[in-house]
Amino acid sequence: MMRNDIQEVLFSEQQLADKVAELGARISADYEDKNPLVVSVLKGSYVFMADLTRKITIPCNVDFMAVSSYGAGTKTTGEVQIIKDIGSKIDGRHLIIVEDILDSGVTLSFLMKILKARGAASIRLCTLLSKPERRKVDVPVDYLGFEIPDAFVVGYGLDYAEKYRNLPYIGILKPSVYGGE
């Protein structure tokens, strides 16, 4: 059973819903008349993206990107591969990048750099979770859900080995599941 693999529930379905509503309201107020392009970084942010955009009450467009991850323990070069690009023209657009979790910051700093180079009028970052202890590259976060400690979390879109994405809450995975204590 999946629940048995979870050591501790960090954020319940209700806590997540409340936070997402709060972020959606802030974005709606900040982007009135701007018709922002909301860009989700797949796959981890797919649940957050679906919930967040339904709490954005102003006109907006949505698009999706996928980037490669680098292996844990390997040296990060700062080079991140684009697996799936957005289809929208971003020249002059106001972008909001939606991420599940900000960890080292390598992925997002790379993404923000290339999207800026394509002529976006503005780029802001909305991340549900952040692990400040793990940061290697400074990334400005405009809309943050929760800061969390350095533990591996799953659920609400986040996976371990492609599992647990469908959990409606966010929990810390038992280290025994991935070969720890």
Q: Which residues in this chain contact Mg ion in the complex, by CB under 5 A?
A: 44, 159
Query: Site size for ligand XMP, by CB under 6 A?
Result: 17
What dihedral angle (degrees, nearest 10) is formed by the CA atoms of 105, 102, 63, 50?
180
Q: What is the 3-state secondary structure (H, E, C) of 45-107?
A: CHHHHHHHHCCCCCCCEEEEEEECCCCCCCCCCCCCCEEECCCCCCCCCEEEEEEEEECCCHH
- Between 35 and 68, whose beta carbon lies closer to ligand XMP? 68
Binding mask 86-105 for ligand XMP (x = CB under 6 A): -------------xxxxxxx
Q: Does 44 bind ligand XMP (CB under 6 A)?
A: yes
The distance of Cα 5 from the centroid of its chain, to the nearest Å, equals 23
Q: Which of 153, 156, 167, 170 binds ligand XMP (CB under 6 A)?
A: 153
Pair type for strands 94-102 and 122-130: parallel
From ligand XMP, Mg ion, none, which one binds at residue 169 (CB under 5 to 8 Å depending on kind)?
none
**CB 177 → Mg ion: shortest distance, Å?**
15
Q: State yes or no: is 103 an active-site residue.
A: yes
Residues in contact with ligand XMP by the rule CB under 6 A = 44, 69, 99-108, 152-154, 158-159
